[in-house]
Amino acid sequence: LHVRSRRQRQMCIRDSVYAVDDPLGSPSVQQVTVSVPTYSQPSNPPQMGTTNRPELFEARFWSAVLRNGKLWATHHQGAPARQRWYEFDMAGWPQSGQTPTLVQSGDIDAGTGVSTYFGSLWVNDAGAMAMTFAMSSANSFISMARTSRAAADPLGTTGMIQTVISSTSPETSGRWGDYSATNDDPAQPGKFWAHH
């Protein structure tokens, strides 16, 4: 599945979801649009100790997983940048002919002036979601952070943000963190592994 922003209409954006069947043989492509809350291109995040800001590129999806008929995806957006996540009920699409719908979405808000970005997520068989992302502000170096949610948590919410590790100096290359990953441990249900 491939998802991209298509067009803006009033208070929502219609995103395109593509299914590619038989990509290594005789590929065929199907497309459907799904409405999501409005979002904007992300602003490059500040960090302590330098005026250099990591390049966030655009509001494309950085991570997605299809599990138990649900598509989960995440991207960063807005100013300050916020990591946003979504859960879509695929309703058996494309085989069913039904249109997928948005179940829930949420932004990772770490407080005033704090940006969250370059996230990855994963969902296990029980419907628990874990996310890893970068975080920084004008008063903090870039850090690796995480959050999660259980399937029974209120819609659109995640747990507390936890810092995994903080940098001890500013990053001045202009690049940071567009290579994170989060996965569940198949041998230990409920455990997730992540890197950033």
Give the separation between CA 180 and CA 136, rounded to whole angstroms. Answer: 16
For residues 38-45, average pLDDT: 95
**pTM for this predicted structure:** 0.90
| Mean of the per-residue pLDDT values of the chain | 91
Give the separation between CA 111 and CA 47, rounded to whole angstroms. Answer: 15
- The region, left, alpha or beta by phi > 0 then psi within -120 to 50, assigned to residue 97 is left
pLDDT of residue 13: 60
Dump pLDDT digits (tens) for 94-153: 999 899 999 999 999 999 999 999 999 999 999 999 999 999 999 999 999 999 999 999
Give the separation between CA 41 and CA 46, rounded to whole angstroms. Answer: 16
pLDDT of residue 194: 94
pLDDT of residue 14: 67
For residues 10-16, average pLDDT: 59
Give the separation between CA 190 and CA 168, rounded to whole angstroms. Answer: 31
- Closest to 181 measured CA to CA, from 189, 192, 167, 173: 192
pLDDT of residue 185: 93
| N-term to C-term CA, the chain | 24
Q: Sorting pLDDT into bands at 50, 70 and 90, what band is 168?
A: very high
- C-beta separation of 146 from 194 below 8 A: yes
Looking up tokens 């038989």 gives 22
Instruction: Evaluate if residue 43 carries a pLDDT over 80.
Output: yes
